[in-house]
Amino acid sequence: MTQDPSSTAVGGEEVVPSTARTLEVIDVREGMFGVHGSGDTSGYGGLQRPVAMPEASARPYGGWFDEVADRLEQVLGESVGAGAVESAVVDRGELTLHVSRERVRDVCQHLRDDAGLRFELCSGISGVHYPHDAGRELHAVYHLLSMTHNRRIRLEVAAPESDPHIASVVSVYPTADWHERETYDFFGIVFDGHPALTRILMPDDWPGHPQRKDYPLGGIPVEYKGATIPPPDERRSYS
């Protein structure tokens, strides 16, 4: 566990946490690319870097974050941390709501339609793979913008590798269509209810999902001035 006592600014207001920010270390990556044995030819094989996640924040969050959380609790009829919104994290002046994968569509509907919230735009959805976050290895991250109130928040939804299903939000945010397809293509997250969940960049018959941490580096040998350079996963390590 590590701590960062720094303060942040939210909407022009300085937010000083009542206690130091606590981070949960879920992995320690070794080398430049986190590979073992051959493959890492960067020369940084001795590098060790913890992968740390900030834990849930306690009230008050500061700035307008409490206003958003209060209104969301009212429309959902349940408290943050005790239902659809599993936790709220304030980190580096940004608010992230961790939402259950079964309820994300419902939460998005309220965030878009309620007059006190009005997050009208989903500007992007991306995937993240944390192989050592047991039972929560795959994460989908949603970036929402309220043009009415000039506010931005982030939603984060987790699913296990063994059951990589998350409810689609295309019916709420049509802009999520291609973003969910890309996240499915690269990370293998299945968005239930998507109107046409197919690959968007890789060929339909492509094996695996290329941006997952367990995907092999692969590649093809390259010939350069008579010498052949092997693909990344066959190069020897310089560590």
pLDDT digit of tens for each residue in the chain (239 aa)? 444 444 445 444 444 443 445 778 888 877 776 666 656 666 777 788 888 888 999 999 999 999 999 999 999 999 998 889 999 999 989 999 999 999 999 999 999 999 999 999 999 999 999 988 889 999 999 999 999 999 999 999 999 999 999 999 999 999 999 999 999 999 999 999 999 999 999 999 999 999 998 887 777 777 777 788 777 667 766 65
> Residues 102-108: contacts with CB within 8 Å, 24+ apart?
102/167, 103/167, 104/142, 104/155, 104/157, 104/166, 104/167, 104/169, 105/167, 105/168, 105/169, 105/171, 105/172, 105/193, 106/76, 107/72, 107/76, 107/155, 108/142, 108/144, 108/155, 108/169, 108/172, 108/173
Q: What are phi and psi of 102, to 5 degrees?
A: -75, -25
d(CA 39, CA 217): 8
pLDDT value for 135: 92
| Alpha helix positions (H), 36-168 | 65-76, 104-113
Residue 163 carries which side chain, given as an amino acid letter?
D
Structural domains in the chain plus CATH codes: 56-208 (3.30.460.80)
Q: Residue 65 burial by CB count (10 A; 0-12/13-18/19+): exposed, middle or buried?
A: buried
Rounded to an integer, what is the distance from CA 26 to the centroid of its chain? 14
Residue 128 carries which side chain, given as an amino acid letter?
V
pLDDT value for 237: 64
The length of the chain in residues reads 239
Residue 165's Cβ-side half-sphere holds a number of Cα atoms within 13 Å equal to: 5
